[in-house]
Amino acid sequence: MTFIGSTVLGFPRIGPDRELKRALESYWAGRSAEADLREVARRLRADTWRDLAAAGLDSVPGNTFSYYDQVLDTAVTFGAVPSRHAELGLSPMDTYFAMARGTASAPPLEMTKWFDTNYHYLVPEIGPETRFALSDRTAVEDFREARKLGVETRPVLIGPLTFLLLAKPADGAPDDFRPIDKLPELLDAYEELLAELRKAGAEWVQLDEPALAADRAPAELEALRNTYRRLGDRSDRPKMLVAGYFGDLGDALPILAAAQIEAVGVDLVAGASAIDRLPALSGLRDKTLVAGLVDGRNVWRTDLDRALTTAATLLGLAGDVAVSTSCSLLHVPYDVDAENDLDPQVRQWLAFARQKVGEVVALGRALRVGRESVRGELENARAAVASRASANRDQRVRARVDSLRPEHSRRGDYRERAEAQQKSLRLPPLPTTTIGSFPQTTDVRKARAAHRAGRIGLAEYQRRMRDEIERVVRLQEKLGLDVLVHGEPERNDMVQYFAEQLAGFATTEHGWVQSYGSRCVRPPILFGDVHRPESMTVEWARCAQRLTDKPVKGMLTGPVTMLSWSFVRDDQPEADTARQVALAIRDEVRDLEAAGIRVVQVDEPALRELLPLRAADRPAYLEWAVESFRLATSGISDGTQIHTHLCYSEFGDVIDAIVALDADVTSIEAARSRMEVLDDLNAVGYARGVGPGVYDIHSPRVPQPDEVADLLRAALAAVPAERLWVNPDCGLKTRDYPETEAALSNLVAATQRLRDGL
Ligand SMILES: Nc1nc2c(c(=O)[nH]1)N[C@@H](CNc1ccc(C(=O)N[C@@H](CCC(=O)N[C@@H](CCC(=O)N[C@@H](CCC(=O)O)C(=O)O)C(=O)O)C(=O)O)cc1)CN2
Ligand SMILES: [Zn+2]
């Protein structure tokens, strides 16, 4: 008889009210002690274990807490601390934060996207000299702490293969060195940790291997086989659940099914295509299949009938079956019930982390005891699914999309555009600009909070924002920048701000999701057909442009990024949704042009993030991504200059798409890669304006004029001065004013020096 259980692969950790964010920022600012921070963390862990156990999960994940990032935790656990951080001589906690955030003398680890999500992890640096050793026992202590509270957890660790595949070679490593070369040594340390967990009483552990959802070379698959053969052979270890998620595990699936492990976790939402291959995997018969049937990445209530039908087909295939989430719930907010202002109809369609735990438990019970036992849950889910399916059609939007023709996504010849733009803008060589946001001061945030709470009226709020815009414009004039911005003070977030004004989107009050460290976002919910009831940014842009003779750059977020950083309807192809969003932005671009704005930037920082993990799926994505950007940015005169901005990624895989966007100017993160992206752009014949970021805004460090000048010289070797722009890497909203002013002043000084030499 198959045993049927329920579990989730992970849970949010920032706290239902962002308690961890506040505790971290207070500790960093020196306003509280390490013990205070630890106490907040301990309470958050205890609350999570208690809630998950009380909800009725058969297995509760443990070690899902992190002070900053789970990949960083893994590096510290196994002793992969770069010497520049170890040598600071700080406490363990402060060494950890030095790796995450850097210090004046030691830059942090690089930060990049966690697969195709908006979560960012810290990239471990592994070199030939890295000595792996079990150096931190947080995972064991976490298990003991839960047990003391009466909850037996299943500690979650990043799998060794994924850890090394996400790492990068340390500076100075030989060219042919790859972190994965160190797998055998790392496995020694994993074996030690597994043995300690077993000794502490852990029956199970979970090893996460999401790297298996991407294309993997034969040698990597061989490494997978060897990894779990070695770990599997040990008798002094807990039972192992190896979970692959974010897609179909492809060739890795049969390897896991045959491995000497006790459970395999599969993502049957993003990797639903794997279902047909499960029956052929005889290795599953003596294992537990952890079936990821509840979407851990999106917020729609699960179609429980459909999930049960799928689950029923799994029962004969494996020894035991556990119903689970497709991945960790880290990527969704805590609780729909915390929302007071959601439209009741939309709210009925939603499940956040707590509700998803309930769904998993209900599915497990339905399978084990019978559908009757959860009749109410099934009926509610059915009603929600039916209600969502019948709502959300706006015929006007659909007719407009249907009427689109290829010429709606095409602008005139670039050379003519460039000429018309130069005539209107009269920019010097090496024009300087910024990426849009200026520091979001406490005053600005407080004004917004006060306005939301009704303590100040709309007129007063707008007055404060206009004052802030004036301050930012004057500052830019003083600094001598060429293309100005209004600074985005009125925006809580570059996606949420637009979602709040577009029909078809809902936004939340408490729906925070961790983006990195203490930084969170409230991803909007794109539930219906999208259109723009009225202009969104024109008044602010006009207000800024009135203050100055220099061109002010209008600032919008592109369709791909709007989708990527929202929870998006799953009842139609993303391409269709993107087209609707693109039309709304297109209307805004035209209105900005009509208001006298001559430069419009349409940000697409998530262009690379949404790129499918498997190469075979990429062309289709890139086609709709590029087409929707072009749809948003065509339909204006040649003389209006379109900028785009890309950041947070390696761009090698999307370089052709960047060219195809047909923007007049592309600003792109490059400071950390020493301008390499320029060679990539040259290689594919990109011959438009380009602004490789000349300093890293993610660090409080102020770049010196010499450094900036060096980078610009490197850039000028690849790009002629007529096409080269000078700008920071990204927006300045997370920075302070003193460092921002200093950095921009150095940026302008360095530019002037190079101009003089032209
Ligand atoms: N959506 C999105 N994804 C992104 C980025 C981005 O900008 N947006 N950038 C990249 C990096 N990710 C980032 C994610 C978040 C933040 C960030 O700064 N987030 C802020 C919150 C931004 C926000 O929504 N602010 C609101 C709400 C602010 C707030 O917390 N208010 C207080 C009260 C006000 C106060 O006294 O401060 C409250 O509600 O409790 C506002 O300004 O209105 C934070 O965590 O601190 C930065 C980068 C990639 N992904
Ligand atoms: Zn950016």
Give the three-class secondary structure for 266: strand
Catalytic residue among 85, 486, 643, 698: 698
As a whole number of angstroms, the distance between CA 355 and CA 363 comes to 12
What is the CB neighbour count within 10 angstroms for residue 201? 12
Q: Supply the residue whose CA is at minimum distance from atom 26 of ligand 1.
A: 492
Q: Supply the residue whose CA is at minimum distance from atom 16 of ligand 1.
A: 519
CA distances from 590 to 140, 212, 413, 556, 564 (A): 58, 44, 19, 12, 24
As a whole number of angstroms, the distance between CA 224 and CA 256 comes to 8
CA of 603, nearest ligand number:
2
**Which pLDDT value is given to residue 288?**
97
Q: Supply the residue whose CA is at minimum distance from atom 39 of ligand 1.
A: 449
Cβ-count burial 17-55 (b if 16+ within 10 Å, e if not): ebebbebbebbeeeebeeeebeebbeebbeebbebbbee
**Which pLDDT value is given to residue 669?**
87
What is the CB neighbour count within 10 angstroms for residue 82? 21
The reply, when asked if residue 327 is annotated as ligand binding, is no
Give the three-class secondary structure for 288: strand
Q: How far is CA 179 from the centre of its chain?
A: 24
Pairing of β 641-646 and β 599-603: parallel
**Which pLDDT value is given to residue 672?**
65
For domain 417-757, the CATH class is alpha beta
Q: Is 493 in the pocket of ligand 1 (CB under 6 A)?
A: yes
State the DSSP string of 326-394: SS-GGGS-S-GGG-SSS-HHHHHTB--HHHHHHHHHHHHHHHHH-GGGGHHHHHHHHHHHHHHHHS---
Say how many Å lie between the CA of residue 352 and the centre of ligand 1: 20
Pocket test of ligand 1: the residue of 117, 446, 521, 669 to mutate, having most ligand atoms within 8 Å of its CB, is: 521
Instruction: Take residue 686 and report the two structure tokens written for it.
Output: 């990109």
Q: Is 387 in the pocket of ligand 1 (CB under 6 A)?
A: no
Handedness of CA 222, 223, 224, 228 (dihedral sign): positive
Say how many Å lie between the CA of residue 88 and the centre of ligand 2: 30
As a whole number of angstroms, the distance between CA 393 and CA 404 comes to 18
CA of 519, nearest ligand number:
1
Instruction: Take residue 145 and report the two structure tokens written for it.
Output: 């702490």
Where are the chain's structural domains?
19-334+343-389, 417-757
CB 268 within 8 A of CB 293: yes
For domain 19-334+343-389, the CATH class is alpha beta
- ipTM of the shown complex: 0.97
Give the pLDDT means over successive 10-residue stretches in the chain (758 positions): 87 98 98 98 98 98 98 98 97 97 90 94 97 98 98 98 97 96 98 98 98 98 98 97 98 98 98 96 96 98 97 92 98 97 96 98 95 96 94 91 96 96 97 98 96 96 98 98 98 98 98 97 98 98 98 98 97 97 98 98 96 96 98 97 90 93 94 80 93 88 93 94 95 95 98 94
Say how many Å lie between the CA of residue 505 and the centre of ligand 1: 18
**Which pLDDT value is given to residue 473?**
98
CA distances from 215 to 245, 276, 353, 426, 616 (A): 13, 19, 29, 48, 9
The reply, when asked if residue 18 is annotated as ligand binding, is yes
Kindly tell me the burial class for residue 690, based on how many C-beta atoms sit within 10 Å of its own C-beta (0-12, 13-18, 19 or more): buried
State the DSSP string of 402-458: HT--GGGG----HHHHHHHHHHHH-PPSS-BB--SB----HHHHHHHHHHHTTSS-H
Closest CA to 293 of 215, 204, 364: 364
Closest CA to 261 of 240, 243, 277: 240
What is the CB neighbour count within 10 angstroms for residue 548? 14
What's the pTM? 0.96
As a whole number of angstroms, the distance between CA 568 and CA 570 comes to 6
Q: Supply the residue whose CA is at minimum distance from atom 33 of ligand 1.
A: 449
- Which residue type, as a one-letter code, is found at position 495? V
Q: Is 495 in the pocket of ligand 1 (CB under 6 A)?
A: yes
Residue with the two structure tokens 């959300």: 392
The reply, when asked if residue 241 is annotated as ligand binding, is no
Say how many Å lie between the CA of residue 732 and the centre of ligand 2: 9
Strands (E), 513-572: 513-516, 519-521, 525-531, 553-557, 567-568
Q: What are phi and psi of 529, to 5 degrees?
A: -65, 140
**Which pLDDT value is given to residue 671?**
67
As a whole number of angstroms, the distance between CA 319 and CA 306 comes to 22
As a whole number of angstroms, the distance between CA 563 and CA 611 comes to 12
CB 712 within 8 A of CB 692: no
As a whole number of angstroms, the distance between CA 393 and CA 402 comes to 14
The ligand 1 atom at the shortest distance from the C-alpha of residue 495 is 1
The reply, when asked if residue 19 is annotated as ligand binding, is yes
Pocket test of ligand 1: the residue of 340, 445, 455 to mutate, having most ligand atoms within 8 Å of its CB, is: 445
**Which pLDDT value is given to residue 452?**
94
Q: Is 521 in the pocket of ligand 1 (CB under 6 A)?
A: yes
CA distances from 681 to 433, 552, 653, 658, 670 (A): 21, 27, 11, 9, 12
Q: Is 628 in the pocket of ligand 1 (CB under 6 A)?
A: no
Q: Supply the residue whose CA is at minimum distance from atom 38 of ligand 1.
A: 449
Handedness of CA 707, 708, 714, 716 (dihedral sign): negative
Q: Is 609 in the pocket of ligand 1 (CB under 6 A)?
A: no
As a whole number of angstroms, the distance between CA 578 and CA 632 comes to 10
Fold equal for 19-334+343-389 and 417-757:
yes
246: left (phi > 0), else alpha (psi -120 to 50), else beta?
Answer: left
As a whole number of angstroms, the distance between CA 628 and CA 430 comes to 30
Say how many Å lie between the CA of residue 734 and the centre of ligand 1: 9
Q: Is 336 in the pocket of ligand 1 (CB under 6 A)?
A: no
Rg (CA), the chain: 26
What residues contact 429, with CB distance under 8 A and at least 6 apart?
A: 721, 722, 724, 755, 758
CA distances from 122 to 19, 50, 109, 214 (A): 22, 29, 6, 19
408 has catalytic annotation = no
